[in-house]
Structure 1
């Protein structure tokens, strides 16, 4: 369910905003002004969306394309007997009447007029909106920013980040932001409409997003000490300057630190069904609470001013990932976190947007604010600015009880999470591509495979997302990392009897195979989304085909290693959680002169160890470099 009804194009610029908001907009909005926060739909006609007509629909691969590829991905994961059994099942499905019927149904769904993507509704619900565990730690992702040596004050750096983020917001709402392309191929811009002035709303059995008119909601939400404030960005027909934002944030910190009030943000870190029930409790406790929730939900973004001072990289990462759970509203798509020592980061709610648009947002902010010539001089602060008032929620005994229970559940989940970070300075993208001659992404993936094999003595199903935004409403396709080539290489690397020349040859085979799969997946020629579409095309009164009952089908897509690559010179770390109880979450960045890894896993009966995997990956990086260097030296000698 998408609450998007408004059809009138809205352009955000100072004159439009100033004409759309009250001259008293620096005061906390009343119920009457809140009634203008209507559901909203962008015009989708500006520069940001100008190439949308060129973006094709997501295609449906043929059975002849998918099924042989699927079998190939099973081979390194199964015994010979298991593989032969799965091979027979796949062959029977391909030749069966039901297999052809499901393919036809899926193709017909894809061809329906007015349906941009055959996958979108299914995927958004199954992967995100219908997911009932807490979004933090299990779904949302974080970026830990590089330090800004010019802006060590919490409120000064926060003001700079907000001011620059609002410039990006304006370009998104005005639809003047340059659309993205890859090799002159346009990417779908649809997800940008869910970046600002939107919120995820809990509901059973599936959540839903709401969008608010940005012209009527030129404000941000600020969180401090678990208390939320609305901070309008326009006062007396003039946007706030960096110095004025800083001044307002100083007022908020001073007031919030001496204030005792219900910290309702912890509700958003709970299981989604619990949050659904507790949201009703909160709304029933007082009619004022709905207006206060709407204030947060309709705001441009959330700024979290934490009262902690993380020092180590692990502390910084954890602060950005989850914090204490109170000083957050986890349902907002964009949350910037700034700590008392000036460190900062970002937390993204994942349901309607993947990481590439928010990475662009954060890179935009950090490229500008970290620049030596970024203007941090203090400007005059108007003396008529009113201190923002806190959003104080009315509670009763059931709400207080629910808050305590939600906090206990949140703390239990966070306590069970391991997180460890690694920055390997031995080499980076320049060396991997120019000196070693490998794809940086494929190379990093092989390091993860070798590290896991060193630690656990086996290879397990591994996921890497390939973005499919070259198609309308495209999100991701799964790249199955483990291949016969990668498996041969990791075993060879741990076998001292195999010459380095052979090891480097096998590494070349493994990275080539991986790059090929990623390219195919980005062109919607992967395995997993097509098989999912076929499975979902089975009618309720039809028997599920043997293909989907085969243990190999579920086991091969149970991602015991879930990976993703967002490479940016502006982050010290980024990441999210594992996706299965017996698995690791491995976020990595291949930067110019280093490779960063953030590894998460649970503390449970599977005895996984995030710190140990970091060490194993570092050992893998050293061993791989040594093999390449030694092979190069041997090759040079042979030419003498």
Structure 2
């Protein structure tokens, strides 16, 4: 899951690792405009062919046998030789990078990587955040030493007294915060993010609101503001609210552009709950269609448009909405279920193509599901921190919200024929089965966090990545290709870089930990050495000094322009053991450091991969794991070994040296 468009699974990268040290200051009208730095940020550096080939060989070598290394080295030499096809492809990429209007040599790469994928994006590509609970909403936690709800079913006394109070109040507050953030963006009053003194690209913020991925037969497109088709920020005033598979258009901004008050929003949401109290007619919840593989959903969308003229208006309501709000009619029994529902819950209550879908459960717990094609985790973290870091009443006040009367929810109705109803039913059944075939697990370390790692004089991210490798070796009996997403937003239109974690020093560290004859000093030295190499590689990735995306884009140039360039066949490099094995994930990892979220998660990237999404904060460390159910036992073994690995590494570094 999180596969690429190719047959070889490749992680998409949530793009939040490397966000440590970022600051998101309070909006300041006197500060720099939000997009002030976009055209003066440095360009993503284009590596030379020699640099990427050399790095590729170094990165894949630890995963290969001697025979596989030799075969890979031979293909790299042929690819990079004078007169070789690599030179031709590199020249074409350099020419493109220098072309007028091109912001980065990755400008074509990113749409292909995200919009070109043909499998379903629900669970496979979208990611989620589970928000921290607000006062009075205490979610049950996971089985790793946490608190469960009183009756075991996740239903609280407060709900018995007033069943919808926690939900509608939380949802109204989230709407108010989101609308305030949008108004600040429209006025360019969200200060540019700064990380370690460097301004970061804010371009992705243009895709937070009124942005929808549109399925296509061969490649998807994006309907969004700030484009030639839709200049400037979105002027939409409505959101789409889901409840029990019903869809409603709800205005959250008045006709004069003034946001509705919290009381108005609460009343409007109560009206939605009342109007959607009964489930819709069977096979009519069109949101199910967004769980289909992309080409199938594209054909179904065309069928919707052809079925009845009113369907175009219904799609327009959904696609132009500021965001989706999904009101669930149940309270999850525990944190594990809450995370799973945020990742792949459905019941027709989602539109997975929408950039932002805020999800609020019956007990007031909440989170967000994010469509990934234009948004990485760093951008969502800034949005979430802004929304959750300020009380809802203050958001409403700062946005100038006032009472205008409760907005009236208007049903969004699709006309469906028998064939479309059958497709809705089929999509619902197929996605339910797909979700059932995914195993997940939450793991919490409430006595360990980034500050503890720093006190042991080791990089927090390096510490946990080494722990993942040791746990994987013990759970599966081997090391395997591991992906970590590294943010590169200090560059113009920067997104992420693909880091491959397994290094020779990590191999030596794991070997030392598994060697009964190795003493503590040897193990400790191996740990520190591996951590240092990890930090060095992460810094190189942040500087754009990584081979994978560069070489991948050269391959894509051959696919797009091979005949024109005289490179008719795929270069053998891309069938070499090194290329195939380095990109066949056993672990796909990404970090989301924010005090406002409990868990972050995404699907795994291959039939044997474990997706590892983690929230590493100063005093605690939360992990969400996912993998295909046939290999669930290995994931649970990994979770158990991760606890042991963290404890052993802490003890090792705590011991006198």
* TM interval, short-chain normalised: 0.7 to 0.9
CA deviations on 1:577-607 (whole Å, 9 max, x unpaired) are: 0111121111112111111111100023x56
Q: How big is the shift at 1:251?
A: 0.9
Distance 1:247 1:295 in 2: 21
Aligned to 2:25: none
Matched-pair contact (CA < 8 Å) for 2:252–2:259: yes
Partner of 1:570: 596
TM-score for both structures, normalised by structure 1: 0.87
Unaligned runs of 5+ in 1: 1-44, 636-640
Alpha-carbon shift at residue 116 of structure 1 (Å): 0.7
Q: How far apart are residue 332 of structure 1 and its match?
A: 0.5
Question: Where do residues 60-139 of structure 1 align in structure 2 (5 Å cutoff)?
Answer: 60-98=46-84, 99-125=86-112, 127-139=113-125
- Where 2:175 maps in the other structure, the secondary structure is helix
Q: Helix, strand or coil: the match of 1:216?
A: coil
Aligned-partner Cα distance in 2 for 1:90–1:491 = 29
Contact 2:215–2:297 (CA under 8 A) maintained in structure 1: yes
1:15 match: none
- Pairwise CA distance, 1:215: 5.0
Does 2:465 align with 1:445?
yes
| One of 363, 370, 392 as aligned partner of 2:413 | 392
Equivalent residue for 2:583, pick from 557, 565, 588: 557
Q: Deviations over 1:119-143 (max 9, x none)?
A: 1222222x21111111111000000
- 1:239-638 matches, cutoff 5 A: 239-258=259-278, 260-261=280-281, 262-369=284-391, 384-433=405-454, 435-538=455-558, 539-540=562-563, 541-542=566-567, 543-604=569-630, 606=631, 609-630=634-655, 632=656, 635=657
For structure 1, which segment, 181-190 or 383-392, has the greater mean C-alpha deviation from structure 2 after superposition?
383-392
Q: Distance in 1 between matches of 2:71 and 2:468?
A: 30
Aligned partners of 2:168, 2:510: CA distance in 1, in Å? 49
Give me the whole-angstrom Cα distance separating, in 1, the residues matched to 2:395 and 2:489.
Answer: 33
Cα displacement (A) at 1:480: 0.7
Match of 2:122, SS? helix
Cα distance change of structure 1 residues 160 and 385 upon mapping to structure 2, 3 Å threshold: closer
TM-superposed deviation, 1:374: 8.9
Q: Which has the higher contact order (CA 8 A, sep 6+)?
A: 2
Contact 1:500/1:628, CA 8 A, preserved across alignment: no
Give 1:223's aligned residue.
242
Q: CA deviation at 1:382?
A: 5.6
Q: Report deviation, 1:309.
A: 0.5
Structure-2 change in CA distance of 1:248 and 1:524 (3 Å): same
- Contact between 2:449 and 2:616, CA under 8 Å: does it hold in 1? yes
Deviation at 1:383, TM superposition (A): 8.2
- Give the superposed CA RMSD: 2.2
Q: Deviation of residue 87 (structure 1)?
A: 2.5
Quote the offset at 1:234 in angstroms: 2.8
CA distance 1:253–1:501, shift in 2 (3 Å):
same
The Cα of 1:150 is off from its aligned counterpart by 4.2
Distance in 1 between residues matched to 2:214 and 2:244, nearest whole Å:
23
TM-fit CA distance, 1:400: 0.9
Report if aligned partners of 2:68, 2:577 keep a CA contact under 8 Å in 1: no
Mean Cα deviation higher: 101-110 or 514-523:
101-110
Q: Is the 8 A contact 2:192 2:199 kept in 1?
A: yes
TM-score by length of 2: 0.85
Q: Deviations over 1:219-250 (max 9, x none)?
A: 11111111111111234644211121111101
Indicate conservation of the 8 Å contact 1:601/1:608, yes or no. Answer: no
Taking the aligned partners of 2:396 and 2:372, their CA distance within structure 1 comes to 33
Deviations 1:458-477 (A, max 9, x none): 11000011112222222111
Q: Which moved more, 1:74-83 or 1:397-406?
A: 74-83
User: 1:425, CA displacement in angstroms?
Assistant: 2.0
User: 1:603–1:580: structure 2 CA closer, same or farther, 3 Å change rule?
Assistant: same
Whole-angstrom CA distance in 1 between matches of 2:503 and 2:338: 35
Q: Residues 494 and 224 of structure 1: is their aligned pair in 2 closer, same or farther, counting only changes over 3 Å?
A: same
Shift of residue 297, structure 1, vs aligned partner: 0.7
Equivalent residues of 1:366, 1:570 under 8 A apart: yes
Quote the Cα distance in structure 1 between the aligned partners of 2:81 and 2:457.
43
Whole-Å Cα distance in 2 between the matches of residues 89 and 224 of structure 1?
Answer: 55
Report SS of the residue matched to 2:389: helix
- C-alpha distance in 2 between matches for 1:133 and 1:325: 20
- Are residue 142 (structure 1) and residue 142 (structure 2) matched? no
Matched, 1:194 2:207: yes
**Partner SS, residue 497 of structure 1:** coil
In structure 2, C-alpha distance between the alignment counterparts of 1:547 and 1:200, rounded to whole Å? 33
Give the Cα–Cα distance (whole angstroms) in 2 for the partners of residues 170 and 154 of structure 1: 24
Question: In the TM superposition, what are the counterparts of 1:145-224 in structure 2 within 5 Å?
Answer: 145-150=131-136, 153-212=166-225, 214=233, 216-224=235-243
Match of residue 49 from structure 1: 35
The question of whether the paired residues in 2 share the 8 Å contact of 1:243 and 1:380 is answered with no
Aligned pair in 2 of structure 1 residues 138, 222: CA closer, same or farther (>3 Å)? Answer: same
Q: Which runs of 4+ in 1 moved over 6 A?
A: 373-376
SS in 2 for 1:274: helix
CA contact (8 A) 1:58 1:110 kept: no
Count of residues in Structure 1 that have an aligned counterpart in Structure 2: 582
Contact preservation (8 Å) 2:174, 2:387 = yes
Q: In structure 2, what is the Cα distance between the partners aligned to 1:413 and 1:530?
A: 33
Q: Is this contact kept in 1: 2:57–2:578, CA < 8 A?
A: no
Contact 1:418 1:603 (8 Å CA) reproduced: yes
Q: Within 2, Cα distance between the matches of 1:485 and 1:397?
A: 60
